[in-house]
Amino acid sequence: MIRIGANPIGWSNDDLKEIGGETPLETCLTEAREAGVVGMEKGHKLPGEGAALKAKLAEFGMVFVGGWYSTELLRRSVAEEVEAAKAHVAMTKGAGAEVIILAETSNAIHGDRAKPLSQRPRLTSAEWVAFGRKLTEFSARLTDQGLKPCYHHHMGTVVQSEADIDRLMAHAKAPLHLLLDTGHARYAGVDPAALLRARAERVNHVHFKDVDPAVLERVAQEELSFWDAYRQGVFCPLGRGCVDFGDVEGALAEIGYDGWATVEQDASPTGDSVPLDDAKESLAYLHSVGLAG
């Protein structure tokens, strides 16, 4: 049975803190639970200390799923990354979670309004080999501490396209796994269900995210940055966009996936919706396609 979690970005954005900045954490957690969410990923308003984080979520009948950690392995050694990750590791373990979400951000452009995605960073063959070696070693160090590392392919980063994911999986070995994000996959022109089937043995975490096809087409025509695409509402409530969640459900069933699936429905940057309504709509849609029990 897939466990349905959520990310607080549905109420308060982590990167653009003015979006939902006035929304109290308690509102987010109360409404998420009302919508049917049983777990929560890390957001900037949640406590950063493990025991406090676990206790806060328990107040609302939820558990901690895990959280994003930005690696900088393209410029740091593995030892330096281990040191930099200590606080995040301690928080994750203290809050009772196992999942740790990794993404290389040392040269990412997803937060840069001046750069279209055509200018995103790319690695040479030699850089892929070195990056993969470091990721594998760093993941092993995390696994030694009882954690389950997974890599988040993301627009505007070195792992965006299907070819990038293939290179990542070829060069970064187990125990590193893959986080399948349906929205970032579709945005990058990747079929998320096909990716699930192709990488069944590596996927250990899932993000449910949908993409508005009209905005996506405009983004492509105007060669907008990821920042501008987000501000124009490229990510929409589940079921309104162009992700085929019926096929995703079939793929998850085929591979026997039984981990967490986090609804990553961003708080509307265009101000045309209400977080609780969006959360309920997305959860109802997941029920309708068999992705929530």
Residue 91 counted as domain residue: yes
pLDDT(1) > 80: no
Instruction: Look at residues 226, 206, 201, 208 and name the one whose alpha carbon lies nearest to residue 216.
Output: 226
Q: How far is the C-alpha of 95 from the C-alpha of 87, rounded, in Å?
A: 12
Q: Are 61 and 29 in contact (CB under 8 A)?
A: no
| Closest C-alpha among 127, 139, 248 to residue 185 | 248
How much is the pTM? Answer: 0.96
Q: Has residue 226 been placed in a domain?
A: yes
Neighbours of 77 (CB within 10 A): 12
Confidence of residue 119 (pLDDT cuts 50, 70, 90): very high
Residue 77 lies in a domain: yes
Mean pLDDT to the nearest integer, 242-254: 97
Instruction: Using the structure block, give the residue that is written with the tokens 């760093």.
Output: 138
Q: What is the CATH number of the domain that holds 103?
A: 3.20.20.150
Residue 184 is assigned to a structural domain of this protein: yes
196 belongs to a structural domain = yes
Q: Partners of 2 in the beta sheet? A: none
Q: Dump pLDDT digits (tens) for 40-88.
A: 999 999 999 999 999 999 999 999 999 999 999 999 999 999 999 999 9
Confirm whether 19 is domain-assigned: no
Model confidence pLDDT, tens digit, residues 223-233? 999 999 988 99
What total number of domains does the chain contain? Answer: 1
pLDDT at site 19: 84
Residue 27, domain member (yes or no) = no
Residue 135 structural domain: 49-256
- Whether the per-residue pLDDT at 101 is higher than 80: the answer is yes
Q: Is residue 261 part of a domain?
A: no
